[in-house]
Structure 1
């Protein structure tokens, strides 16, 4: 029995080493060089080619190599009877919190404005509100969203969350469902998208949503590029409804050289690095799930296909 890693265009030696740390006797093969596809019972995937999972007749589990699973759900050839799991890792939560905190602080303390002043050789103090007066709205309050929100609240920001269903988060209030979306948006000076990508959340960052935010709100999207209607972002920036945006994800990655985001003065781009998966910290739960597959036990972090996460 074996594990197959399907991660095109990437050297996966760090994944193999990490997995062997927790399972020295594991047989691990790397796509496309699978010598015995009939032995594969667990497939570890990131950006897998559509159809690549069909070569394993005895597959018992498919695991994403990250928190996101939309690339697997979008594969119409994926064997739907095979359970799908995702990674839930403290390192993912911590790195996402670091990224969002950095973006929020840069906007809050107006560092971009100060860099502009420096380029103009202008020395002038800019006004900023008290930290508690700035509300950060977190769209998506799963494991990562709650962790990020609590870190921001600990730091002193006012935090509000929005989720599909009502939750008790303790440190900040969470609005739930479509009926409470407008109320949530009306408070958010900085809007942070950490939603899973589902048919219901695709294109959710649109002009209708932007227009319900306070004037001069700021957007951080560290979820998926397909959450954002790019033309609507440009329109909201042009009108002044949004003051700027920090984007870690885009519909097309990498962006084409002609894409307007590259040179837009109010948009900052990072290359999908907000919360990379750490093989060393993620390998233990993968090996645990592999042993659960072999023994017929319930799987960790099982995806609800209907919900999309």
Structure 2
């Protein structure tokens, strides 16, 4: 019985060590050393291999090494094989840290001060109190809720938008496409934490930017596919938006010469907002395998109809 890991090879070595300590009965293999494919029962991946069903006929569980699953073609996964998105706590903790950093940087005009330092300019920018800076989060799953909980500490007026209704204390919640304009109209800093689905692909576009208060700011930690890149550049040039922090892109990495690399109103990071911690990830995976063997409900199981 084999557990196959196909993701970051350096972190895979750490996974192997933890598996040897905690599940020595499982044969742990690092891609591309798959051994006998018929022995593979559990697969953890970032970029899925081709022909999963044909290659691994006895597969029982597939784990995404991250919180997202938009990289999977669900039609290539047998219906009886659950797909599990990673729920280890380090992902949420890292995301909260990153989004807090990004929102505070935008709130306190850090990109302007970086420009001024390069220009050797000493000029104050009047501070807007947090109580007058409205923050809105798109996507109210575990990550979105964790981010909003942290923002309560700063005193920002908070709003959230989601596909399905949510109730979060201290947060004005909106649900469904018909409420999106109302949500956007009261959002000065917009955080995208949506899953990438057919419904949300390209949602960060000119129409959405025009619905925000003029000069609003954007943080995208969802997926690059959420953003229409040309629309962002145009929105910054037109003054619809005043700044953006982007941790995701399409493709990744961005090619040389892409306008995001040098745009003065964009802070770009290489998809590092949150990372799976090997030790905690192995604990989650082994717990899920145990639940599966006992016929129990599986945390993080993906609803293929919804896409997450």
Q: TM-score if structure 1 supplies the norm length? A: 0.95
Question: Aligned ranges for residues 285-304 of structure 1 at < 5 Å?
Answer: 285-304=284-303
The answer as to whether partners of 1:187 and 1:213 remain within 8 angstroms in 2 is yes
Alpha-carbon distance in structure 2 between the residues aligned to 1:189 and 1:268: 17
Instruction: Please give the per-residue CA displacement for 1:25-70, whole angstroms capped at 9, x wherever unaligned.
Output: 3211122211122121111111123324531111111111110111
Instruction: Please give the per-residue CA displacement for 1:196-253, whole angstroms capped at 9, x wherever unaligned.
Output: 0111011010100000000101111011000001111111011010001111000100
Question: Aligned ranges for residues 188-227 of structure 1 at < 5 Å?
Answer: 188-227=187-226
Alpha-carbon distance in structure 1 between the residues aligned to 2:165 and 2:8: 38
Is 1:13–2:7 an aligned residue pair?
Answer: no
Instruction: Please give the per-residue CA displacement for 1:66-100, whole angstroms capped at 9, x wherever unaligned.
Output: 1011112x364332331111111221111111111
RMSD of Structure 2 on Structure 1 (CA):
1.6
The answer as to whether partners of 2:115 and 2:264 remain within 8 angstroms in 1 is no
More deviation, 2-11/140-149: 2-11
The answer as to whether partners of 2:165 and 2:173 remain within 8 angstroms in 1 is yes
Determine the structure 2 residue equivalent to 1:156.
155
Q: TM-score if structure 2 supplies the norm length? A: 0.95
The answer as to whether partners of 2:136 and 2:158 remain within 8 angstroms in 1 is yes
Q: Secondary structure at the match of 1:171?
A: coil
Instruction: Please give the per-residue CA displacement for 1:80-134, whole angstroms capped at 9, x wherever unaligned.
Output: 3311111112211111111111111111111222222233333232112111110
Determine the structure 2 residue equivalent to 1:228.
227
The answer as to whether partners of 2:2 and 2:41 remain within 8 angstroms in 1 is yes
Determine the structure 1 residue equivalent to 2:134.
135
Determine the structure 1 residue equivalent to 2:31.
31
The answer as to whether partners of 1:189 and 1:217 remain within 8 angstroms in 2 is yes
The answer as to whether partners of 2:105 and 2:111 remain within 8 angstroms in 1 is yes
Is 1:58–2:58 an aligned residue pair?
Answer: yes
Q: Secondary structure at the match of 1:62?
A: strand
Q: Secondary structure at the match of 2:222?
A: coil
More deviation, 218-227/74-83: 74-83
The answer as to whether partners of 1:150 and 1:172 remain within 8 angstroms in 2 is no
Instruction: Please give the per-residue CA displacement for 1:137-160, whole angstroms capped at 9, x wherever unaligned.
Output: 100000000000110112221111
Determine the structure 2 residue equivalent to 1:241.
240
More deviation, 288-297/39-48: 288-297
Determine the structure 2 residue equivalent to 1:95.
94
